[in-house]
């Protein structure tokens, strides 16, 4: 899969393509249906499948003082696109110039002149152009005028409610990881590189693999039963704290993972932490001894739950 940061660096050539447009934060079941439609149209037309997404997230651009909880980092989205067989991804830089384009100017500049789109796939609630003034119906009319087809993918629902990134964030905030997994089509996970920490956990007998996650600010907090993948040993059970570590005066959002019955280290390695069950909320304890006692209890609880609920894949 090829990916490009903006169109200026993209070796696009003159061939027409089929394009899917969206933010794709979390890559939930609705997004997956959109990509499946993209692949069907690409196969029918014998054209390359191309995803156009935006970075930073438009909400971050319009509300810079509000920290958006991102469900997936750019790298995680790219890995998911690759796994679904997308051939090319273009991440447009969402800035003032892009935000101020009218709906027709966006279509003409990007879809027609830059990409030579033969067909465009969008979600049921697609909006584009300055102030999201353009609708899916407007895109269809512009497609008729400029000579490309449009597929509008219907909403995907679970339990009678449409799936969207906002719903996934709210479900994760509530701690319902089982429902989140249903909405995503997979357990929620965070990937990142293991950093050196303050080694406090190691001195307590609970060494941790630490991932700095404050940049994309995942929506969930607390203590969790997890599994860690991306390592030679396969899928390893663990207990994780995602939060600010109030008992030790932490000031950065950190994901700390203690691997159960494992003594190795992964410093510098990229791992994938899969969230299986929320055990409790993050708590500030009165003493380090109280915290150590609770970590021991959390580890036992996570080990017991993971033994009774092994991974299905």
Q: What's the confidence (pLDDT) of residue 108? A: 96
Pick the CATH number of 2-161 from 3.40.190.10, 3.40.50.970, 3.30.710.10, 3.40.50.620: 3.40.50.620
Longest dimension (CA), the chain: 70
Residue 151 DSSP one-character state: E
For residue 148, give both structure tokens. Answer: 């490309």
Q: What's the confidence (pLDDT) of residue 212? A: 86
CA dist 205 and 199 (Å) reads 10
- Where are the alpha helices (H) located in the chain, listed in sequence order? 29-45, 58-62, 74-83, 96-99, 103-106, 136-146, 165-174, 177-184, 200-203, 288-308
Pick the CATH number of 188-308 from 2.40.30.30, 3.40.50.620, 1.10.940.10, 3.40.630.10: 2.40.30.30
Q: What mean pLDDT is predicted for residues 66-89?
A: 94
Instruction: Say if pTM beats, i.e. exceeds, 0.85.
Output: yes
Sheet strand arrangement including 2-5:
2-5, 88-93, 48-55, 17-21, 117-123, 149-153
Q: If we measure between CA atoms, which residue out of 75, 49, 58, 32 comes closest to residue 211?
A: 75
Q: What digits encode the pLDDT tens for the residues 169-209?
A: 999 999 999 999 999 999 999 999 998 766 555 555 568 88
- In degrees, rounded to 5, the angle at the alpha carbon of residue 265 between the alpha carbons of residues 264 and 271 is 115
């Amino acid at each position: 899969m090829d990916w490009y940061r903006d169109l200026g660096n993209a070796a696009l050539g003159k061939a027409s393509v089929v394009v899917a447009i969206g933010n794709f934060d979390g890559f939930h079941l609705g997004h997956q249906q959109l990509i499946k439609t993209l692949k069907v149209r690409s196969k029918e037309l014998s054209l390359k499948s191309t995803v156009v997404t935006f970075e930073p997230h438009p909400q971050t651009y319009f509300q810079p003082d509000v920290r958006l909880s991102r469900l997936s980092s750019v790298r995680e989205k790219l890995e998911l696109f690759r796994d679904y067989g997308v051939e090319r991804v273009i991440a447009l830089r969402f800035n003032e110039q892009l935000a101020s384009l009218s709906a027709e100017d966006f279509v003409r500049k990007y879809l027609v002149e830059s990409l030579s789109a033969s067909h465009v796939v969008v979600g049921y609630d697609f909006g584009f152009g300055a102030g999201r003034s353009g609708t899916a119906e407007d895109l269809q009319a512009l497609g008729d005028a400029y000579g490309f087809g449009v597929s509008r993918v219907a909403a995907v629902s679970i339990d009678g409610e449409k799936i969207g990134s906002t719903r996934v964030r709210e479900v994760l905030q509530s701690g319902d990881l089982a429902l989140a997994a249903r909405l995503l089509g997979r357990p929620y996970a965070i990937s990142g590189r293991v950093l050196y920490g303050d080694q406090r956990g190691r001195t307590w007998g609970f060494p941790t693999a630490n991932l700095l996650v404050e940049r994309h600010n995942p929506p969930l907090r607390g203590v969790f039963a997890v599994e860690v993948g991306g390592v030679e040993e396969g899928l390893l059970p663990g207990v994780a704290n995602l939060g600010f570590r109030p008992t030790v005066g932490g000031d950065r959002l950190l994901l700390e993972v203690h691997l159960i019955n494992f003594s190795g280290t992964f410093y510098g390695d990229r791992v994938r932490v899969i969230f299986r069950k929320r055990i409790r909320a993050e708590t500030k304890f009165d003493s380090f001894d109280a915290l150590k006692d609770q970590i021991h209890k959390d580890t036992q609880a996570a080990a017991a739950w993971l033994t009774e609920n092994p991974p299905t894949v």
